[in-house]
Amino acid sequence: MKPQSHLFKENAKKALNDANLARALNNMKAGFQDKRRATIAKLPEFQDLRDQARDLKNHTLENLDFYLSRFEDRVTEKGGHVHWARTPAEAREAVLEICRSVDAKTVTKGKSMVTEEIGLNDFLIESGLTPIETDLGEYIIQLRHELPSHIIAPAIHLNKEDVAETFRENHTQLDPNRRLDQVQDFTDEARAILRQKFQSADVGITGANFLIAETGSTVIVTNEGNGDLTQVLPKVHIVVASIEKTIPTLEDSATILRVLARSATGQEYSTYTTFSTGPRRPGDLDGPEQFHVVILDNGRSALLGTEAQDTLRCIRCGACMNHCPVYGSVGGHAYGWVVPGPIGAALDPGLIGLEEAHDLPNASTFCGKCAEVCPMKIPLPKIMHHWRVKEHEAKLSPPRFRQGLAMWAWFARRPRLYRLGANAAIGMLGRLGAKRGRFAKLPLAGGWTAHRDLPAPSRGTFQQQWARHKRSQAPSSS
């Protein structure tokens, strides 16, 4: 997908003015945060599991070449095929080639952020195929020609009324007077329509939560069962996943699975956890005839060994965005790329370039909530800070901001001059503001006073008052 992250400020502004979006985001926050808190409270070893998960992923990243090649060997042994893709274009071509080799017309898809990243749907449509998203949220946004706004809840920006409208517009074959106001109504309707698509699909495409090097298995977790129907019913199953999804062993998947759903939706486990190992074997009752894994790099290997390497531990649970007050204010679309929220702010500059994405790591108060909830203990604010350092070095921040900062720093390094300036400025401001105690408007403070009053300073700085106090040795003169 074409990044729009350079439009962050504009898009954030639009999002903030969207009352419908604000309502949807408020619902999301309450739901995800409370559920996560409740389920984690029931697992005393949760913090230990975070350490284990972090360590095993660090180990994998340090030996990624080894585990990737072991994964390829195992997949091949089990009768599957691995396709390496350095770029989105290579990944798209690999998928198309497989589809063409079986003369595919219809392709069902389980939810996959990597296929969003490589813009697979549009490409398949241009190539004459019909991709159909089967995750309810993805299905809804596909009908609306929108992009996901969240990595586990792609349609989280919508309310029930929006979905009802979309279904009525698109499912014109159904009774226009049918009831459509409960989540169950949407699920039932989508299920009935998608059943036919599952049965007619030639190829099923899913993502992967893990690629297990020990067994050559790919793993998906879903709550709707759509992933299983996508990968089991068609003749061909294509997994599209990025290199950092690799883990060493089957047992390692259990460690991460124990923190994944709890962090994501507050479930102990997702409804479906599905392991796929190779194509159907003789005697198997079901399964695809062909099993392909397209493994995408797209800039990730370049992050290894850098300060942004820790972002590759991410298991895409979404906890950071569910808890982020900035994401909770502007939603996912404002970030302008497939991975929004704090992890997007830490990862995206590395994948789509700092020039495109330098606003994202700045749009954080460094409140630290994201790192607190991250099951993989990714130091998200630290990585955002790393990008700010790079941004400063590359002089990408707004010139006015840089000049203001340089001037302030010049004074801050010279305490005596700073004090003279501070005494003069605060003296004046204090006199101006004494009557009301605050300013509703002030030159050069427009960003602040547009939305809130600025409390006025007292008469004189602390240092001035302290010096007077020391001279008189009288009690506080404040």
Partner 1 sequence: MDQPRVGLFVTCLVDLFRPVIGFSAVALLERAGCQVEVPTDQTCCGQPAYNAGDLKNSRSIAQSVIRAFEDFDYIVAPSGSCAGMLRAHYPDLFKDDPEWSPRANHLAQRTHELISFLVDIRGMASVENVGFEAQATYHDSCSGLRELGVKAQPRRLLATVEGLDLNELPGAETCCGFGGTFCIKYPDISNRMVADKTADITATGADLLLAGDLGCLMNMAGKLKREGSTTQARHVAEVLAGMTEGPAIGEPEKAPGT
Q: List residues binding partner 1 (CB under 8 A).
A: 9, 12-13, 16, 325-326, 329-330, 362-369, 371-372, 385, 387-393, 397, 401, 405-406, 408-409, 411-413, 415-416, 418-419, 422, 426, 434-438, 440, 447-448, 450-458, 460-463, 465-467, 469, 476, 478
Q: Smaller CB distance to partner 1: residue 207 or 457?
A: 457
Closest CA to 209 of 200, 199, 220, 201: 220
Q: Smaller CB distance to partner 1: residue 128 or 415?
A: 415
Q: Say which amino acid occupies 369.
A: K
Q: Smaller CB distance to partner 1: residue 145 or 452?
A: 452
Q: Is residue 116 within 8 Å of 236, Cβ to Cβ? A: no
Q: How far is the CB of 351 from partner 1 (least distance, A)?
A: 19
Q: Smaller CB distance to partner 1: residue 84 or 411?
A: 411
Supply the Cα-derived Rg of the chain in whole angstroms. 26
CA torsion angle for 328, 334, 336, 340 (degrees, to 10)?
Answer: 0
Closest CA to 216 of 60, 59, 81: 81
Tokens 């979905």 -> residue: 163
Q: Smaller CB distance to partner 1: residue 54 or 388?
A: 388
Q: Smaller CB distance to partner 1: residue 283 or 475?
A: 475
CB under 8 Å to 136, separation ≥6 — which residues? Answer: 155, 186, 187, 190, 224, 226
Q: How far is the CB of 162 from partner 1 (least distance, A)?
A: 21
Q: How far is the CB of 453 from partner 1 (least distance, A)?
A: 4
DSSP for residue 84 = E
Helix (H) or strand (E) holding 356, with range, is helix 354-357
Q: Is residue 262 within 8 Å of 53, Cβ to Cβ? A: no
* CA separation for the pair 349, 335 (Å, rounded): 11
* CA separation for the pair 298, 88 (Å, rounded): 6
- Indicate if the alpha-carbon torsion angle 97, 100, 102, 107 is positive or negative: positive
Q: How far is the CB of 469 from partner 1 (least distance, A)?
A: 8
Q: How far is the CB of 316 from partner 1 (least distance, A)?
A: 23
Q: Smaller CB distance to partner 1: residue 269 or 462?
A: 462
Closest CA to 27 of 216, 176, 158: 158
Q: Smaller CB distance to partner 1: residue 128 or 455?
A: 455
Q: How far is the CB of 442 from partner 1 (least distance, A)?
A: 11
Q: Smaller CB distance to partner 1: residue 302 or 412?
A: 412
Q: How far is the CB of 369 from partner 1 (least distance, A)?
A: 7
Q: Smaller CB distance to partner 1: residue 101 or 477?
A: 477
Q: Smaller CB distance to partner 1: residue 348 or 391?
A: 391
Bridge-based pairing of strands 106-109 and 203-206 is parallel
Q: How far is the CB of 360 from partner 1 (least distance, A)?
A: 11
Closest CA to 217 of 244, 239, 243, 242: 239
Q: How far is the CB of 54 from partner 1 (least distance, A)?
A: 18
Closest CA to 277 of 296, 256, 297, 253: 253
Closest CA to 22 of 145, 158, 150, 138: 158
CB under 8 Å to 238, separation ≥6 — which residues? Answer: 95, 98, 203, 204, 205, 206, 292, 293, 294
Q: How far is the CB of 47 from partner 1 (least distance, A)?
A: 15
* CA separation for the pair 166, 138 (Å, rounded): 13
Q: How far is the CB of 256 from partner 1 (least distance, A)?
A: 24
